[in-house]
Structure 1
Amino acid sequence: MEELNSTSNISSPGQPHPVSWDSKLAIVVVLSLCFALGVPGNIAVIIIKPNWQHLSNLSQILMLNLAMSDLLCLSTLPLWSYTILYTWTFGLVACKLVSYLVHCSVYGSLLTVTALSVQRYIQVVDLQGCSYQTEKRWLLVLLWLVAMILSIPVLVTHQVLTDQHWARCQPHYSSLAQQVVVLVIESLMGFISFSVVASAYIQLHRKVHQAAFFNNPRMTWLVTSIIVTFLVLRMPYPIVNMLGVAAVTVKNEDLLKFYLHSWNITGALIFVNSCLNPLLYAFASRNKCTLCQKKHVVIAEARLS
């Protein structure tokens, strides 16, 4: 994600904060790996649609939307890698539009993961969930509408700032209050999404163990991996944002410096999550179809008996 512009001095928001060459190089390496692995992976998911034939229409639409939103996000990585190492030369309009596109795709991916967790819980726990077909395409419209609304602050705050002939496309807050509001909104979305995802999969995990024909070690691994991956790669970003809010509010210079140095790293982890999503959810579809088949067998045997 684009380099952070925040304050190196709490009393003067929006001033560029220098990043060491080693830090820049490490971030670019991570982003390059995410692009090299995530773009082909998401394209393969979109084209091949692995083991999707037994999924409901809504599940297929959500999984396709997840791959497309992640692909959209990852496709901007070469641009950010270039500007991190060199400078921004594409103008203010491009800065705002590309930043808005990235944030829309990140929010779209976040909301899709949340919707998928709820959908998976309903379909696995409900005995008729695997055969139930729905055409709620309006959900995608609502999902992207929310993502676009949540990304509007980017159009206001992102500017092209120049420091010693070095131009960067990054947030520039006009006041501390504006910075706090933006960071709080981003953090709340992360915490709410994680709470829904964790609750859905924890409840699903309990249901799986309550039913003998759901007791599948691969399902247990899947539930654990999704929660842990989401926690490790997504949650540091809103946590660091809240540290930034605390630093600005209490005017703590040391906490602010930690926030500034951590922001780029936690932003890069979001791209890592987008890179891993096609692997996790392709595996999820495979396991859910297996569970569906087991449920139908058990139901059929119960009726025959």
Structure 2
Amino acid sequence: MEEFNSSLVTFNISSTPDHPSTASWVPIRLDPVVVLSICFLLGVPGNIAVIILKPNWQHLSSLSQSLMLNLAISDLICLLPLPLWIYTLLYSWTLGLVACKLLTYLMYCSLYSSLLSVTLLSVQRYLQVVHLQNIFDRVGKMRLLVLLWLVPVILSIPALVIRQVIKEQHGTDCHFQYSSQSQQVAVMLTETLTGFVAISVVAFSYIGLHRKVNQAAFFNNPQTTRLVTSIIVTFFVLWMPYHITNVLGVAAISLKNERFLKFCMDSWYTVSALVLVISCLNPLLYAFASKDMCTMCGEREH
């Protein structure tokens, strides 16, 4: 991966035992560091509170409770290693290749699990309200939860293969190193296709659910509109920049435009940090707003 310029701020820091560095000039990716710090400080306590308190969950079905608990656990697993990544952005990677691969793999697993949890929640509520069906309950809650982690485990395998510890001018980094441009395109397209499908399903489900409940006078109120809108807009705004950057990267590789590809790589740290913002917003969107959501969806079955 190339040296990053547009998103870097350089500070003159001398090497010390507490702050290892291979050069006196240490580049600092300031924007992602700030975003990741905020995500950790807000998201970790928020998701821990959801796991312990289970706010307003007594009105939800057993499956909805399990999905939201899985969502909180996935987000927490994703956020807990953030101090290590922040340290890496500020200084360099010092934990070796195995830790680099495993921590990256764990983060991808938790992100995919969170994404699928949100998608299944939206589909479940859509089927329950619009079509009056509880298909997921027939599958079996445990089977569904196993599948919810099995799919991310498979989708995250590329992270184990292409994540490497790379020595650069400013130090050592843990990031992706592709063996070929074809491999890079394949990984980007897989991530983007998965993301676009999930975003489309969530948007379709909540828009259809909102139209259905608004047909009844009891549900036609601004609270449900704000809740559904916030879920869709937040999901779209925080995930789309990452996938758009992947698409632009694929286009740059296809056109063999090095300057365009460098712009995409320069943007990667920032858009990746934005994806993690949703992990600290999920408690507000799903857990603490679950009372309004279960009223809207009519969930009373356990």
**TM-score normalised by the chain length of structure 1:** 0.87
- Equivalent residue, structure 1, for 2:278: 273
Determine if the alignment matches structure 1 residue 249 to structure 2 residue 254. yes
Instruction: Spell out, residue by residue over 1:116-166, the C-alpha distance to the aligned partner (whole angstroms, 9 max, x if none).
Output: 11112223335586xx89842211111111101000001110000001261
Instruction: Spell out, residue by residue over 1:213-267, the C-alpha distance to the aligned partner (whole angstroms, 9 max, x if none).
Output: 2213211111100000001101111111011011011111232122012111110
**Kept after mapping to 2: 8 A contact 1:66/1:108:** yes
- Equivalent residue, structure 2, for 1:299: none
**Kept after mapping to 1: 8 A contact 2:63/2:141:** yes
- Equivalent residue, structure 1, for 2:237: 232
Determine if the alignment matches structure 1 residue 111 to structure 2 residue 116. yes
CA distance in 1, matches of 2:111, 2:159: 13
**Kept after mapping to 2: 8 A contact 1:28/1:81:** yes
Equivalent in 8, 11, 20 of residue 8 of structure 2 = 20
Q: 1:210 to 1:177 in 2, by over 3 A?
A: same
**After the TM superposition, which segments of 4 or more aligned residues of structure 1 sit over 4 Å from their partners?**
16-19, 126-129, 132-135, 292-296
- Equivalent residue, structure 1, for 2:195: 190
- Equivalent residue, structure 1, for 2:89: 84
Q: 1:286 to 1:168 in 2, by over 3 A?
A: same
CA distance in 1, matches of 2:34, 2:8: 14
Unaligned runs of 5+ in 2: 11-27
Q: 284-293 or 83-92: which moved more?
A: 284-293
CA distance in 1, matches of 2:262, 2:299: 54
Equivalent positions of 1:162-173 (< 5 A) are 162-164=167-169, 166-173=171-178
**Kept after mapping to 2: 8 A contact 1:213/1:295:** no
Unaligned runs of 5+ in 1: 9-15, 297-305
Question: What amino acid sits opposite 2:122 in the alignment?
Answer: S
- Equivalent residue, structure 2, for 1:13: none
Instruction: Spell out, residue by residue over 1:43-63, the C-alpha distance to the aligned partner (whole angstroms, 9 max, x if none).
Output: 000100011011111100000
Determine if the alignment matches structure 1 residue 261 to structure 2 residue 263. no
Question: What amino acid sits opposite 2:228 in the alignment?
Answer: V
- Equivalent residue, structure 2, for 1:222: 227
Determine if the alignment matches structure 1 residue 291 to structure 2 residue 273. no
Determine if the alignment matches structure 1 residue 153 to structure 2 residue 158. yes
Equivalent in 32, 56, 59 of residue 61 of structure 2 = 56
- Equivalent residue, structure 2, for 1:301: none
CA distance in 2, matches of 1:289, 1:161: 48
CA distance in 2, matches of 1:175, 1:294: 50
Question: Alpha carbon RMSD of aligned pairs, Å?
Answer: 2.1
CA distance in 1, matches of 2:266, 2:96: 26
**TM-score normalised by the chain length of structure 2:** 0.87
Q: 205-214 or 71-80: which moved more?
A: 205-214
The offset of 1:283, in angstroms, is: 4.0
**Kept after mapping to 2: 8 A contact 1:58/1:135:** no
CA distance in 2, matches of 1:151, 1:255: 27
**Kept after mapping to 2: 8 A contact 1:58/1:134:** no
Paired residues, what number? 281
Partner secondary structure for residue 141 of structure 2:
coil
Instruction: Spell out, residue by residue over 1:144-190, the C-alpha distance to the aligned partner (whole angstroms, 9 max, x if none).
Output: 11101000001110000001261000000010000000000011011
Question: What amino acid sits opposite 2:68 in the alignment?
Answer: M
Q: 1:186 to 1:295 in 2, by over 3 A?
A: closer
- Equivalent residue, structure 2, for 1:203: 208
Partner secondary structure for residue 166 of structure 2:
strand
CA distance in 2, matches of 1:144, 1:294: 25
